[in-house]
Amino acid sequence: MWPFTSSLPATALAALPKAFGSAEMIKEALDWQKAESILIRGGSTAIGLAVAALAKADGLLVVGTTRSTAKAEQMLGGDFDHVVVDDGEISGKVLESLPGGVGAAVEMLGFPWVQDTLRCVRPLGTVCMVGILAEQSASRSTGTPQDRLAPVAPSPQWFIPAGVRLTTAMQNGVTRMKVPEPSLNHMQEWVDLLEAGRMRFPLHSVLPLESVSEAYALLENTDRIGRITLTVSHPAD
């Protein structure tokens, strides 16, 4: 249990723990207060938006990526200072905007995209690899189950730039959010920042449980940004 008090509606609060708990793990792994700037590859995802919100609240310059031009416009209206439309290679575009590279980066697409993300980071900067969104997308489209134990990447020494660090926010491939740890409980901080208007987190839709099929359809909508919350109605006494 994560105790807190808040005047925010339950539908908004329900969207916070998973995304922001993951973002806190990423913040811890990157030690991003020293970074000054951060790149979030997969910035329009729920975790990407949470990372952007926390990083912006901490005063970082935030760069995000998305494959959708429609999402890019929405992201620029939020916590992102720069948004790059991801066509598979982003390092040239990122370095054009920030010639020295970013101080930290979050990689959520997986391998081999991490190689390109590493090229966006300045020496002594860190990339935190936390997702395999591209592999998940391919799995859904082909119907082929993911094999997370399959060796899909070459030895890291062949593609990590000298001086750039690569880490993860997971332990043995398992996120600590599976069993919420007390160290990740910043719920009161998150709601205080949201209530004070110092942080934003978009909620796309609130739907009744009976509309779960519509919720899944929205999840597949490539132009959607923000969490989807399902509500459960209680029968009248």
Cis check for the bond before 112: say yes or no (omega within 30 of 0).
Answer: yes
Residue range 224-230: mean pLDDT, rounded: 87
Q: Tens digits of per-residue pLDDT, 77-108?
A: 889 999 999 999 999 999 999 999 999 999 99
Whole-Å CA distances, 119 to 27, 61, 81, 87:
20, 18, 20, 15
Q: Which pair of structure tokens corresponds to residue 17?
A: 């723990």
Q: What is the pTM of this model?
A: 0.81
- Per-residue pLDDT for 135 more than 60? no
- Could you write out the DSSP letters of every residue in 125-151? EEEEE---HHHHHHHHHH-PPP-TTS-
- CB contact at 8 A, 94 and 122: no
Note the pLDDT of residue 200. Answer: 84
What pairs with residue 162 in β-bridges? none
User: What does the alpha-carbon distance between residue 114 and residue 120 come to, in Å, rounded to a whole number?
Assistant: 10
Computed over every residue of the chain, the mean pLDDT equals 84
Q: Tens digits of per-residue pLDDT, 2-46?
A: 778 899 899 888 888 888 988 988 999 999 988 999 999 999 999
Note the pLDDT of residue 214. Answer: 92
Reading phi first (left if > 0) and then psi (alpha if -120 to 50, else beta), residue 93 is in alpha
Write down the residue that tokens 């991490």 correspond to.
Answer: 114
What pairs with residue 128 in β-bridges? 106, 167
Number of other residues whose CB lies within 10 A of the CB of residue 14: 15
User: What does the alpha-carbon distance between residue 127 and residue 129 come to, in Å, rounded to a whole number?
Assistant: 6
Q: Phi and psi for 67 in degrees, rounded to 5? A: -90, -5
